[in-house]
Amino acid sequence: MDGLYCPRFLFWRCLPISSKEIAINEEIRFKEVRVIDSDGSQLGILPLKDALKAAYEKDLDLVNIAPTANPPVCKIMDYGKYRFEQAKREKEAKKNQKVVEIKEIRLGLSIDTHDFETKGNQAKKFLAAGNKVKVSIRFRGREMGHPEIGLDTMNRFAEYCSEASVVEKPAKMEGRNMLMFLAPKPTK
């Protein structure tokens, strides 16, 4: 049993997802810092002890806002309120973002007219929703010898969807597949 027991333990340290961790109060490791007061006025370059004392007198935190500056810049502020407002701004920015998805339409080399129109209408729906469309044709066996037929089908498809889309990347062979990307027409 002696050989199997190992007294060492491994600990995983959970690191924060955000790399923007800001040093506050006792976490600041500089001798001197440039201090900005809570109202925005400069208190000048102070030793760290005096800067912490000034922050504690106002019942606020000393936050290192520019650690790469020479000397580092610290501001006296309410850190909890600052983090809350920062999270609120990030959430607001995330809400205003539009995520563009890429939808895929697969065509066959010898596609019939009704199937072609159905896939074209589906692509128009995707484009109207603001998504990009990836159109692909997979060549199998002897079909590899006739890429011009696939190119013709792709051009027909782009023309069919031309009122709702712009060709972002023209049809191009990649291995056994021919790919083309369509983007929605920009709104004015």
- Domains for the chain: give ranges and CATH numbers: 25-81 (3.10.20.80), 102-184 (3.30.110.10)
pLDDT in tens, 48-83: 888 888 888 888 888 888 888 888 899 999 888 888
Residue 4 banded pLDDT, cuts 50, 70, 90: low
C-alpha 107: how far from its chain's center? 31
Where is average pLDDT lowest: 90-94, 101-105, 124-128? Answer: 90-94
Written as one letter, the residue type at 95 is K
pLDDT value, residue 8: 52
Distance CA 5, CA 1 (A): 6
Nearest by Cα to 156 from 94, 90, 186, 111: 111
Distance CA 53, CA 129 (A): 57
pLDDT in tens, 162-180: 898 999 999 999 989 999 9
Q: Which long-range contacts (CB under 8 A, 24 or more apart) does 51-57 make?
A: 51/76, 52/25, 52/26, 55/25
Written as one letter, the residue type at 12 is W
Distance CA 90, CA 29 (A): 28
